[in-house]
Structure 1
Amino acid sequence: MEKLNNNRIGVDQGDSVLFSDFQHGGQMWTGDGHRERRQRVIFSERFNRRPVVHCSLSMWDVDNSANVRADVTADCIDDEGFDIVFRTWGDTRIARARVGWMAIGELRDPEDWDV
């Protein structure tokens, strides 16, 4: 459980298109085996400390001739941003993917002192 210490709670959110590989024959569409894409997201305002981040698929376009496999996570989270990580494996073919995200955490107070 994340416990927030003040009344300055911020919620930032967005949607990120991670790839559109079918247009140019990219690895997510033509490859097989373990594949991964990362995209750095910068928050609209810096948090006081590391926020809680949630990611979920908001759109994906997949080939129906193979099993559909995907793993979406937030990694390298700090007070300024995080990495969206999308992984697939086996013979899964993914044409494109978009991930929605939300970060919740304490905001800096203008009256806080940096010592």
Structure 2
Amino acid sequence: MRKLRNHLIGVQQGSHVMFSDFEDGGEMWTGRGPREARVRIAYDEPFKTVPVILTALAMFDIDERTNQRADLTHGNVTEEAFDMIFRTWGDTRVARIRADWTAIGEVRADDEWDV
């Protein structure tokens, strides 16, 4: 369990179209085998400590003629930003993905200074 040491908790949410590969024949739509799309997401303002990140598929468009394989995760989380990562593999053809995210963590008070 993560315990927050601050009474000021910040929550920021967003939604991002990670790719739309069917329009231009991108790798997620035309490729085979392991593939990855990675998007750097910056917060509106930095957190005091590294926040907890939640990600979820908000919209997916996957070819019905192939196996539907999808892995949405995150990495490289800092006080300022994180990477949202989508992976697929095999013969899966992914046209587009939109992912939602939430960051929850400690934030600085207006009168709190770093000396």
TM over 0.5: yes
Q: Percent identity?
A: 53
Q: Name the amino acid aligned to 1:8.
A: L
**Are residues 1:82 and 2:92 paired?**
no
Give the superposition deviation at 1:112: 2.6
Q: Which residue of 1 aligns with 2:100?
A: 100
C-alpha distance in 2 between matches for 1:41 and 1:81: 5
The C-alpha deviation readout for 1:8-52, integer Å capped at 9, x for no partner, is 100000000000000000000000000000000000111001000
**Aligned residue pair count:** 115
Q: Which residue of 1 aligns with 2:33?
A: 33
Question: Is there any run of 5+ residues in structure 1 with no aligned partner, and where?
Answer: none
TM value normalised by structure 1: 0.97
Q: Which residue of 1 aligns with 2:71?
A: 71
C-alpha distance in 2 between matches for 1:80 and 1:22: 32
Q: Which runs of 4 or more aligned residues in structure 1 lie more than 4 Å from their structure 2 counterparts after TM superposition?
A: none
Give the superposition deviation at 1:113: 3.1
C-alpha distance in 2 between matches for 1:9 and 1:83: 21
Give the superposition deviation at 1:67: 0.6
Question: Is there any run of 5+ residues in structure 2 with no aligned partner, and where?
Answer: none
TM value normalised by structure 2: 0.97
The C-alpha deviation readout for 1:66-113, integer Å capped at 9, x for no partner, is 110011111000000100000000000000000000000000123333
C-alpha distance in 2 between matches for 1:45 and 1:23: 34
